[in-house]
Amino acid sequence: MSSGLPSVTTVLGAEDVQRALTRIAHEVVERSRGAADVVLLGVPTRGVPLAHRLAERLASIDPAFDPTAALGELDVTMYRDDLRRNPTRAVGVTRLPAVGIDDKIVVLVDDVLFSGRTIRAALDAISDLGRPRAVRLAALVDRGHRELPIRPDFVGKNLPTSTSERVLVRLAEIDGEPDAVLISGRDPKGDAR
């Protein structure tokens, strides 16, 4: 018997999130042949603390990576293509890493990759700020349903979803509760449409 409340399923727990970030950090180092030229840009909101965590892991894997100089955040609000349709959003902070982004391997860090429009906006913002050698994308969750030809280079979890479902990422730094990835509105049979 249904309670009438939307169902919420935990897909990743705190340990799963930690393992995913550690794996992503190793993949970044391997693909970049070290982390000396890597800079991380977290996409607010939850991409920022994820980028901080990834920076700590990169520093533990490759001592050439300086997490204080190679970490920043990138607000994409003014580059979004839905400003006319959505309520006014407060413009956030863009803070470039001290080493800059020119000729660096920029890794954008976000929590959930869905339509790809946020990342498109991030790419536009980056092109106004400098000329990196390469731009790569790390997403904790790839839930599919892309509207643009954008795909992540590093993924914590591929998560087939229906368009009616919501993927919620909870992080201790922002939400004050243990890390988790949740899906709400999931079909009880678990079928992704």
Nearest-5° Cα angle at 127, 123 to 130: 130
Assigned domain for 174 exists: no
Q: Structurally, how many domains does the chain consist of?
A: 1
Which pLDDT score is estimated for 83?
Answer: 74
Domain CATH code at residue 128:
3.40.50.2020
Residue 52 lies in a domain: yes
Q: Does the residue 1 lie in any domain?
A: no
| Distance from C-alpha of 115 to C-alpha of 120, rounded to nearest angstrom | 10
- Could you tell me the residue range of the domain that residue 129 belongs to? 14-83+90-164
What distances in angstroms separate CA 53 from CA 59, 68, 80, 124, 174, one per listed residue? 10, 12, 26, 25, 13
Low-confidence stretches of the chain (pLDDT beneath 70): 1-6, 87-88, 187-193
The pLDDT, as a whole number, for residue 48 is 97
Report the C-alpha gap between 71 and 48 in whole angstroms. 9
